[in-house]
Amino acid sequence: MSDTIVIRSILFADVVGFSKLPDAAYPGFMREFLADADRVLCDARHTALARNTWGDAIFAVFTTASEAARAALALQELVSSQEWAKRFGLSSVTVNLRLRIGLHAGPLHEGQDPITKNLSFMGRHANLAARIEPIAEEGHVYVSGEFAAMATLANPDEFQFDYVGQRPLPKKAGVIPVFRLSPVARQS
């Protein structure tokens, strides 16, 4: 890891109920869901600088809060718009995927991961983003106040942030103000 410190936006997502999927769903999950999620994370409107998975968890880092917000909303749209049982090749099983997503922005250490040889980011603010994801409601994107401020300053008419309240974070990481992200409804 280098001594380079940069301000970045961090996304952590978790597939709710993943551990309850039948074993036959896992090949389709890897082939279909993760491939689609990767296409979302690499979309030109919000390209992730770094991305990784741990089973059903997704970690991605973006240059701006707006890019991370767009990616989070696109992931939620992806999950809700598909018939996953059919995509996974399962005819007699119901598969209802839902995501919990947490977003935060702050200073991170940037460098090359010696194991994967990929660009990597780490630091206290990545840990904070990881603590926001588990408190998010299923199907929603929760963000820190820092993230909401940065996205609003950059694109005041693109996103809506509804105050959820002061929430305790897992692993005794503190209590922070949390906001729910949604797109701004466009007037026709």
DSSP 8-46: EEEEEEEEETGGGS-GGGHHHIIIIIIHHHHHHHT-TTS
Confidence of residue 95 (pLDDT cuts 50, 70, 90): confident
pTM of the model: 0.93
In sequence order, which ranges of 81-139 are alpha helices (DSSP H)?
84-87, 124-132
- For residue 159, what pLDDT is reported? 96
Q: Delineate the domains of the chain, giving CATH numbers in brackets.
A: 4-183 (3.30.70.1230)
133-172 pLDDT per residue, tens: 999 999 999 999 999 999 999 999 999 999 999 999 999 8
Mean pLDDT along residues 8-30: 93
CA dist., res. 125 & res. 108, Å (int): 7
CA dist., res. 43 & res. 51, Å (int): 13
